[in-house]
């Protein structure tokens, strides 16, 4: 009988130690998963920064093109008294609101697909939320540009 009690006690202690190892492994896996999520978030942020830098660069190149494409025409009549100046400029591109909506939708969809367990549903929800935030941000930028 004593042997049975000793055997049960040994099994109990062994199972408790095994359970703590499982808990430690679960905690390790949870921290690894959270680190992966943070890394993915940082990738999205970095890609947004890269895209914003590209957009700024394109805008600068576009504004330089517009400045170089201005044409000045001077008409001098026979008497030489009157001059007329005509300036043509290139049509502007997208508004900041439209750009913000498109960029926000893309980044939101990517983030939603990465973070969510249901990839399609997460992409749709993230895309809609990103488009809404991007539109709001673009509208603020447009209003600031109009003031300047």
Q: How confident is the model at residue 4, as a pLDDT? A: 75
Q: How confident is the model at residue 73, as a pLDDT? A: 63
Q: How confident is the model at residue 87, as a pLDDT? A: 58
Check: pTM over 0.85? Answer yes or no: no
Report how far apart the first and last C-alpha atoms of the chain are (Å, whole number).
92
Q: How confident is the model at residue 125, as a pLDDT? A: 92
Distance of CA 108 to the CA centre of its chain: 7
Residue with token string 């201005």? 70
The dihedral sign for the CA sequence 131, 136, 137, 141: positive
Instruction: Centre a 10 Å sphere on the Cβ of residue 137 and count the other Cβ atoms it contains.
Output: 17
Instruction: Centre a 10 Å sphere on the Cβ of residue 126 and count the other Cβ atoms it contains.
Output: 23
Can you tell me the distance from the alpha carbon of 37 to that of 43, in angstroms, rounded to the nearest whole number? 10
Mean pLDDT, the chain cut into blocks of 10 residues (148 residues total): 77 65 80 86 86 86 71 60 56 82 91 88 91 91 85
Q: How confident is the model at residue 103, as a pLDDT? A: 92
């Amino acid at each position: 009988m004593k042997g049975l009690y000793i055997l049960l006690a040994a099994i109990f202690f062994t199972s408790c130690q095994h359970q703590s190892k499982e808990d430690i492994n679960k905690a390790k896996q949870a921290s690894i998963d959270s680190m992966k999520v943070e890394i993915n978030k940082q990738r999205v942020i970095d890609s947004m920064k890269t895209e914003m830098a590209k957009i700024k660069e394109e805008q600068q190149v576009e504004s330089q093109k517009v400045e170089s494409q201005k044409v000045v025409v001077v008409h001098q009549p026979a008497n030489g008294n009157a001059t007329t100046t005509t300036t043509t400029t290139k049509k502007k591109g997208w508004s900041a609101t439209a750009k913000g909506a498109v960029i926000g939708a893309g980044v939101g969809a990517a983030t939603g697909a990465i973070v969510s367990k249901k990839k399609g549903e997460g992409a749709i929800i993230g895309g809609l939320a990103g488009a809404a935030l991007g539109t709001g941000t673009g509208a603020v930028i447009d209003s600031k540009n109009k003031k300047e």
